[in-house]
Amino acid sequence: MHKYDYSFLENGLLPAELVNISFSISSLKTAAEFRKADYATIFTELENVAKIQSVKSSNEMEGIVTSDERIAQIVSQNSRPLNHNEQEISGYRDVLNAIHANFQNLKFNEETILSFHKTLMSYTNSEFAGIYKKDDNLILEIDSLGNRKIRFAPVYASETKKAMKQLFLAYMEASSNSNINQLLLIPCVILDFLCIHPFKDGNGRISRLLSLLLLYKNGFDVGKFISFEEQINKNKNEASSICVVAFRQPC
């Protein structure tokens, strides 16, 4: 049985530098609220650009690409997908739109995550859409000589549903603890989600969509105006190292 415990995030246990950074981010969030009222037109433009960048970058990290022109047409829903890649991109767009429009009513639970995955895969008619993996999967990496090795082994398929339930319950407990830094809780939960790797395909994209949802749920709407998926794509090697060092080794 996999268990998840985020008590190490309680304020008294965190490095002072990390706490100060999170407080600085929170103060910037407050300042942004005033800017939105003063620069409404600019924020609307930022929102339009961020949506395109998010759809493009999150899919690009998985090798799912098309032209910038086609990305813009798909995001604006002015064109149907023309091939498999564009079907994948269209699915991401739909989940992204759902989060932006309805985050208040979405919960971090099994129903939401399975629904996200079903929508993500809806245009490809995948038989695995909206269901947990049925076979075990491995995360591989290839060294400079072309040799493959196992980077880590996710949770067994037979244990996935139970592990996800434990993750939901651990997040519920931690999110109700006023002594736990909620901003730092998000990447820890997402890292554990990726270690479970609950789906046959689409885990990376779902993780980024869940990150956006949890940011929204905790009062941070920056992902609406700035594409954090693009930032991850640009700095993915550095971000991966920071995440592992700062929180825990991959399970």
Q: Give CA torsion, residues 193, 197, 198, 200, to 10 deg.
A: 150
Give 125's DSSP letter. Answer: T
Confidence of residue 77 (pLDDT cuts 50, 70, 90): very high
**pLDDT higher than 60, residue 239:** no
In the numeric block, which tokens belong to residue 34?
């005033």
In the numeric block, which tokens belong to residue 179?
């002594």
The DSSP bridge partners found for residue 152 are: 139
Task: Give pLDDT tens digits for 81-113.
Answer: 999 999 999 999 999 999 999 999 999 999 999
The tokens 């407080």 sit on which residue? Answer: 23
Confidence of residue 1 (pLDDT cuts 50, 70, 90): low
Please say whether the beta carbons of 196 and 155 come within 8 A.
yes
Q: Is 59 exposed, middle or buried (0-12, 13-18, 19+ CB in 10 A)?
A: buried
Quote the percentage of the chain above a pLDDT of 70.
94
Quote the percentage of the chain above a pLDDT of 90.
73
The pTM assigned to this predicted structure is 0.90
Task: Give pLDDT tens digits for 175-203.
Answer: 999 999 999 999 999 999 999 999 999 99
Confidence of residue 241 (pLDDT cuts 50, 70, 90): very low
Task: Give pLDDT tens digits for 10-66.
Answer: 877 788 888 888 888 888 887 787 888 889 899 999 999 999 999 999 999 999 999
CA atoms of 41 and 39, how far apart (whole Å): 6
CATH T-level assignment (fold) for domain 7-246: Fic-like fold (1.10.3290)
**pLDDT higher than 50, residue 242:** no
Q: Which helix (H) or strand (E) holds 139?
A: strand 139-142
Extents of the domains making up the chain: 7-246
**pLDDT at residue 238 in the model:** 63
Helices (H), 76-202: 84-102, 110-120, 160-175, 182-196
Amino acid at 73: Q
The more confident residue out of 86 and 247 is: 86
CA atoms of 157 and 91, how far apart (whole Å): 24
